[in-house]
Amino acid sequence: MMKRTGVPNREDIDSILPTAERLAQGPVAIVECFEKIPCNPCYTACQFDAIQEFEDINDRPIIDFAACTGCGLCISACPGLAIFVVDQTYSDTEAVVQIPYEFLPVPEVGEEVLALDRSGQVITKGRVVKVKETKKMNLTKVVSLAVPKELAIEVRFFRREKRHG
Amino acid sequence: MQTHEIAVIGAGPAGLSAAIAAAEFGARVTLIERNNKIGGQLIKQTHAFFGSEKQYASHRGIDIPPLLYQKLEDKSNVQILLETKVQGFYPDDGVLGLENKEAFFPLQAERIIVATGASEKTLAFVNNDLPGIYGAGAVQTLMNVHGVIPGKRVLMIGSGNIGLIVSYQLLQAGVQVASIIEAAPCIGGYLVHAAKLRRMGIPIRTSHTILSAQGAKEVERATICGLDESWKPVPGTEQEMDVDTICISVGLSPLAEILWQMGCEMKYVPALGGHVPVRDKQMQTSVAGVYVAGDVASVEEASSAMMEGRIAGLAAAESLGYGSEQLNVEKKDALEQLHSLRSGPVGEKIRSGMHNLMQEA
Amino acid sequence: MRIQEHPILSFPRGRKVKFTFNGQELEGYEGEPIAAALHAAGVRVLRYSPNLHRPRGFYCAIGNCSSCLMTVDGEPNVRVCIAELQEGMAVEIQKGKGELYANS
C-alpha cells in the first residue's frame, strides 16, 4: 500500500498507464499522481489540452492520451516531480524514459548509468541520450534515458556507476 | 505618538498577503519583520509549490517573496520595518513595544494583524539535546539560506511534508539520508514526496521511533526500534544507525505569545498545531481589531497562509472604512480559494480542527 | 562543510573575515550567522548546560529556542544562530549562565 511504503503497486500503475497501442505510437506522458491533493499546474502547463481542466483543485489529473504529444512540458511543471514521458518507438529494442532531475552533477549525453525502479532497486543499465534544461523549466532538468523497451514502465530514476567518496 | 492604521506583525506569506490586500484598498500599512529580509519560511523552500496558479503553484518558494514584494514596493501607503521585533503589547495603553538594534520604541495601531508563524516542536528521547540534533526547519535554514551542510549522514524523524521535503533537500545538498522514520503506520506527507525519495533508494520506515542518540559530545549514532499497533516499542527490533545528524520533523506550534498578551481567547486544538486563537471567518480574534493569519492561526501550508492573510488584510481595511463592492468580491474569492484548498482528503485534519474551533462572526 | 555548488541555489557570500572561537582563529563570511560560520568550520558544540554540563548545539536556527547561547565579545547569552558575524569577533563557549560585562 502506497500510504505505508511510498511505492505505488501494480494496480496503482495500471490505473494511470496509456494502452499498449498508444505506447506503441510514440512519446506519451505517464502521470504518476495517485493522491487527491490541492494542485493543478500540470493542467496549466499543457499546450495541447491533453490534461482535462480541473473542476475541483483536489482532483487527480485526467489525461487525454490521444491529444498528448509527449512534449514533456508537464514534467518540470509538476511540483511533485511525478510525471514521466515514455517513448517506445525509440528503436527496436530500446525505449526512452524522460525523468525530472534536480541534482548535480548533471549527467552527460552518452553516459551509462544504473537505472532504478520505483523502490530504488537497480534493475538495468541505462544510457543518457539527452539532457534538457531551459529557462522555462525553472531548474528542473529532464534527463532522457534509453533502456530496454520492456522496462520503460519501471525505470524511474538513475545513479552514476562511479561512487563518489 | 502617531497612530498607524494597520500594523502587520510578520512578513512571511501570510503577513505579506495581508499587507498587500489592505494596501490595495488604500489602508496605511506598517509591516514589521524581525529578520533582515522579508519572506518568512518561503526563503528556504527550494521546492515548487502545489495549489493553483493564483497561489503561485509551480513557483519555487524562494521565488515567491520577490513577487509579493513587487506588489508593495511602490506603494506610498506601505512602510516596512525590518530587523524589528515586537517585544510585547501594553494593554493599558493599547500600544505595541518594538525593538530595532537595541532601540526600543512604542507603536500604536488601529488594527493589528498577527502573522508570526510557528516554531518547531521537539521530541523526547534519550540524549535528545546532543549537538547534531536539529529541527528540520533549522537544517533547511542552515543549508538553503546559509549554504552550510548540517553533517554527512542524517536520520530524519517524521514523514510529514516537511520531513519528506527536507530529506530531498539534504540529498540535493550532497548529504546522505540513512532513513526516514515515522511513528504512525502511514506516511504523513504527500505521496509524491515519498515516491521521489523511495525511487532514490531512501528507506521510509513507518511504525518506527527513535529510542536514543549517542555520542561523546555530538551525535555519532542513533538507536531506532519498531512500534506495535498500540505505538509501543517492540522488544528485539532495536537497530543502530550510523548517523552524525538527527533531524526532528514532528510538527510546529504557533508562535502565539503576543496573542496571549493581548488577551485573545485561545483554544487547544491538536489538529491545528496546539494553542490557537479563536477567530471568526474574517480572521478576527476575540479581541476587536486584532486579526490573525498563517501558521500562528493554524499550522497549515503557505497557500492557505496567503489566503488567510488576504482575508485578514481585506477585513481589517474594510473595518477602517475602505470597504467597497470590489473588496467584497476579492474577499469572497479568497474565502472560496481557502475552502477549496481544504476541501480534499488531505484537508480532513484541518477541517476537523476548524470544526472544533470556529465561533460565529 | 560549505556548499559550493547546488542544483537550485547560489550563495552570494560577503567578505571573508577572521574571528576567534575560544581563542582559536577561524574564518567566516561577514554578515552570516555566527553559528553558520562555526558549523562550516566543523564546530557543532556551542555551549554546556548550566547544571549537568551537557554539550549543546543549536536546535531551531531561527532565534526561538535558546539552545545556541554563546558569549560574544564578552556579552553572554547571544543567540548565535541569528547574530551576524563581524570581523574580529571573539566567540566563546559559554559555561553555565554567563556573566554580564565586568565593566558595563
Residue with cell 515548487: B48
pLDDT at C95: 77
CB distance C21 to C91 below 8 Å: yes
Interchain contact C60–B (C-beta under 8 A): yes
pLDDT at B103: 95
Alpha-carbon gap, residue B136 to B157, rounded angstroms: 9
Alpha-carbon gap, residue A13 to B228, rounded angstroms: 30
Find, among B124, B116, B120, the residue nearest to B136 by Cα.
Answer: B120
pLDDT at B361: 33
pLDDT at B265: 96
Alpha-carbon gap, residue B10 to B34, rounded angstroms: 7
Interchain contact C63–B (C-beta under 8 A): yes
| Structure confidence by residue, pLDDT tens digits, B91-136 | 888 899 999 998 999 999 999 999 999 999 999 999 999 999 999 9
| List of E strands, chain C | 16-21, 24-29, 47-48, 55-56, 69-72, 75-79, 90-92, 94-95
Q: What residue segments make up the domains of chain A, in order of their start?
A: 2-160
- Which cell numbers hold the place of B165? 521535503
CB distance B192 to B165 below 8 Å: no
Mean pLDDT within B302-323:
97
Flag if B195 and A157 touch (Cβ within 8 Å).
no
Interface with chain A: mutation pick from C4, C5, C8, highest number of A CBs within 10 Å? C8
Flag if B344 and A80 touch (Cβ within 8 Å).
no
Give the B window 167-226 contacts with C, CB below 8 Å: 172-174, 217-218
Q: Does pLDDT of A165 surpass 50?
A: no
Q: Would the CA dihedral through B254, B258, B264, B266 be positive or negative?
A: positive
Q: Does pLDDT of B360 surpass 50?
A: no
Distance from CA of C13 to the nearest CA of A (A): 21
CA B126, B127, B129 angle in degrees (round to 5)? Answer: 130
Nearest residue in A to C10, CA atom = A139
By the 10 Å C-beta count (0-12 exposed, 13-18 middle, 19+ buried), B201 is classed as middle
| Structure confidence by residue, pLDDT tens digits, A51-78 | 999 988 899 999 999 999 999 999 999 9
Chain B positions in Cβ-Cβ contact with residue C67 (cut-off 8 Å)? 129
Alpha-carbon gap, residue B56 to B43, rounded angstroms: 14
Q: Does pLDDT of C17 surpass 60?
A: yes
Chain C positions in Cβ-Cβ contact with residue B130 (cut-off 8 Å)? 55, 57
Taking each helix axis from N to C end, the angle separating B13-24 and B302-317, rounded to the nearest 10 degrees, works out to 30
Mean pLDDT within B298-313:
96
Percent of chain A's residues with pLDDT above 90: 88
User: DSSP 3-state assignment of B272?
Assistant: helix
Alpha-carbon gap, residue C79 to C41, rounded angstroms: 18
Q: Which residues pair with B134 in a beta bridge?
A: B247
| Structure confidence by residue, pLDDT tens digits, B68-101 | 999 999 899 999 999 999 999 998 888 999 999 9
Find, among B7, B79, B21, B34, the residue nearest to B291 by Cα.
Answer: B7
Mean pLDDT within C2-9:
93
The single-letter DSSP state of residue C2 is B
DSSP codes joined into one string, A72-122: -HHHHH-TT--EEEEETTSSSSEEEEEEEE--SSPPPTT-EEEEE-TTS-E
